[in-house]
Structure 1
Amino acid sequence: MNIGDKVRLLHGNEQGIITKISSGGRIEIEIEDGFRIPAMKSEVVIIHSAERQYFGDGVVEEKPTVATKNVVKSADGVFLCYLPLNDKDHSIYLSNNAGKNYLYMVSEVFGDNSRTVSAGTINSGSYVKLDEKSIANFEEWPTLHLQMIPINLRTEKTQTPFEKRVKFKASAFFKSKGKAPLLGKDGYVFNLTQTTKDLDIKALNEDLNSDKKTPTKPHQFERPAQSVDLHIEKLTKDHQFMSNSEMLKLQLETFEKSLDAAIATGMDEISFVHGIGNGVLRKEIHKALSQMKNIKYFQDSQQSRFGYGATLVRIK
């Protein structure tokens, strides 16, 4: 027996593929929907090709699996699903419940390098297994880069391809428990299309052409709130897919934009609520403020207001 052989239990109906062979005659079999069960070599028999051809083997193939009528569909969209195999390992699935067929490619990103995990076609109402990951190595999971190109099987409105980079934070990942669409199993589920917006090329071209025809008007600043909350969940609903550096960048951009607007609209002071946390955001804000000439001073706010999780800025 070798890894990859298709086998059947002698004293049961289960059948699947050998995924691991251990000492002492123990093996591990992956059965339907990616679940694994332990067994002894003496408890299984290999399903030979002639038998599979005549009887059929019933083993799930490594191609997108079409959902049966018995599976209850949930929300529309393309989903990334992490389903537990055991208390440590999770299978990663791409589930297409969007009503549209897609060409897809999923890669792991390592700086300027990448590794393609899976690529192909995923039809509407089907799912495909991408990979397996151990929760014990959660912090070491690389960024996932997903690219989706819609397929039109008839003449219809063209939909824009989309892509998503996924780098999870533990606090967001473990709060996303739900039932995986089409697979019908509990796990950690993320809707990749929920916050995706199509790029309107026609409108973009019109804006670019209008800029060439009409003089540029001075930017009109809108007076910001007296207190600006920089907690990431206040700035975007897509934070569970962002890395720490991406979140920090968005928070600093919001800080700079709000401060510029406060100065331009003649405000005397403004507060930025950044929380206590690990202090990285506070440090970056204070560093930026210390280099600005139009700031009288800045200080940590009083505990009664923000628990020292905010910075008060006095403007000249």
Structure 2
Amino acid sequence: MNIGDKVRLLHGNEEGTITKISGSGRIEIEIEDGFKIPAMKNEVVVIHQTEKEYFGDEKAPAPSEATTLSSSKSQAPEPGLFLSYVPLNDKDLSVHLINNTEKDYLFMASEVFGENSRTLASGNFAAKTSQKIDEKAIPQFEKWPEVFFRFIPINHRAEKTLPAFEKKVKFKASSFFKSQHTAPVTGKKGYLFPLDHQTKTLDINQLNQDLNKENEQQPVEKQFKRPAKEIDLHIEKLADDHEFMSNSEMLRLQMETFEKNLNYAIAAGMDDITFIHGIGNGVLRKEIHKYLSQLGNIKYFQDTQKNRFGYGATLVRIN
């Protein structure tokens, strides 16, 4: 039984991924919603005994066939920048950056420790190459720090200028150990993650100009977008790349979405609005109720419609 194994509780329906093992026979399991529960080794059973069985199925392609993140659509390697964790043995992983594009980049990769950081690698990143930047121990998975990447495209001739971009990566065990693919360029099988997919750069000056122009043209009462009566705050509804986000980043995005839609509802004169937050570990519900309790223009709020949604929700009545 190792970190990364998928297990099922013998006396319950919960399934999850092992994220921590202690010498006393206790383990920690991360279930699908990110909630972590403790258990004893003798209270769980490994669903699949080997990594090959866990990551494959009866209809999976043979190991010799390249499998990429878009394998369901095409067998051709997908272009882009990738982060790959290649097993060295049953405990250690080799960390590689992969540039499967036709463009060279300047890059920097750093581990982040609060306000401090440690640069892992930097320099020129040539097209169709890979670079090893670190090694990681699987037993220390829960202690892996956030990794920050910055990429700047290089134009060797007069051509369209592509924007530089940044990416922060913080893995959850439930998504990390399910992401085994054959990497482009290297051809090595490991845990593969795109770094430039769903990355959006913003022109702040242009955005401000567009907003100011729109506000000048619209009456005050029409400057607020009337939100839907029910707002789903589940993270998979808010971010396509949520598997790369830490718990604090996900909570921050959920709270920002909640506050924005609540403000729009108040400004639009709505009588009530419902926020679907789920049950999980209760952190999001607690933060929402804490925020609502500090507002003066709220009649009341209450848990509601759980039977309808199948998970937790909060109804907010507005003055």
C-alpha displacement of 1:303: 3.4
C-alpha displacement of 1:306: 3.1
Aligned match of 1:289: 292
- For 2:227 and 2:239, the matched residues in 1 are separated by 18
Aligned match of 1:241: 244
3-state SS in 1 of match to 2:237: helix
Per-residue displacement from partner, 1:117-152 (whole Å, max 9, x unpaired)?
111211111111111111211111111111111111
Aligned match of 1:105: 108
Residues 136-285 of structure 1 mapped to structure 2, 5 A cutoff: 136-200=139-203, 203=206, 207=210, 218=220, 220-285=223-288
Cα 1:269/1:211, change in 2 over 3 Å: closer
3-state SS in 2 of match to 1:250: helix
1:79 is aligned, of 77, 82, 98, to 82
2:309 is aligned, of 298, 306, 311, to 306
The structure showing larger relative contact order (alpha-carbon pairs under 8 Å, at least 6 residues apart) is: 2
Cα 1:254/1:210, change in 2 over 3 Å: closer
Conservation of the 8 A alpha-carbon contact between 1:301 and 1:308: no
Cα 1:310/1:286, change in 2 over 3 Å: same
Cα 1:208/1:262, change in 2 over 3 Å: closer
114-123 or 257-266: bigger deviation = 257-266
3-state SS in 1 of match to 2:224: coil
Aligned match of 1:93: 96
194-203 or 276-285: bigger deviation = 194-203
Instruction: Answer with 1 or 2: which has the greater Rg.
Output: 1
Conservation of the 8 A alpha-carbon contact between 2:153 and 2:162: yes
C-alpha displacement of 1:201: 7.2
Residues 27-106 of structure 1 mapped to structure 2, 5 A cutoff: 74-106=77-109
Cα 1:290/1:215, change in 2 over 3 Å: same
3-state SS in 1 of match to 2:107: strand
Per-residue displacement from partner, 1:30-63 (whole Å, max 9, x unpaired)?
xxxxxxxxxxxxxxxxxxxxxxxxxxxxxxxxxx
C-alpha displacement of 1:203: 3.8
Could you state the TM-score of these two structures normalised by the residue count of structure 1? 0.71
Matched, 1:126 2:123: no
Q: Which amino acid aligns with 1:315?
A: I
- For 1:111 and 1:97, the matched residues in 2 are separated by 31
Conservation of the 8 A alpha-carbon contact between 2:306 and 2:313: no
C-alpha displacement of 1:315: 1.8
- For 2:275 and 2:213, the matched residues in 1 are separated by 36
Cα 1:261/1:201, change in 2 over 3 Å: closer
Cα 1:297/1:211, change in 2 over 3 Å: closer
- For 2:209 and 2:217, the matched residues in 1 are separated by 15
- For 1:201 and 1:280, the matched residues in 2 are separated by 32
Q: Which amino acid aligns with 1:260?
A: N
Cα 1:203/1:220, change in 2 over 3 Å: closer
Conservation of the 8 A alpha-carbon contact between 1:83 and 1:188: yes
Aligned match of 1:36: none
Per-residue displacement from partner, 1:235-290 (whole Å, max 9, x unpaired)?
01121222211111110011111112222223222211111111110000000111
Question: Unmatched 5+ residue regions in structure 1?
Answer: 1-71
- For 1:73 and 1:108, the matched residues in 2 are separated by 32
- For 1:182 and 1:73, the matched residues in 2 are separated by 12
Conservation of the 8 A alpha-carbon contact between 1:105 and 1:116: yes
Conservation of the 8 A alpha-carbon contact between 1:300 and 1:308: no
CA RMSD of aligned residues (A): 2.4
- For 1:254 and 1:209, the matched residues in 2 are separated by 22
Count of residue pairs brought into register by the alignment: 244
Question: Unmatched 5+ residue regions in structure 2?
Answer: 1-74
Q: Which amino acid aligns with 2:138?
A: I
C-alpha displacement of 1:314: 1.7
3-state SS in 1 of match to 2:120: strand
Conservation of the 8 A alpha-carbon contact between 1:160 and 1:199: no
3-state SS in 1 of match to 2:140: helix
- For 1:313 and 1:116, the matched residues in 2 are separated by 46
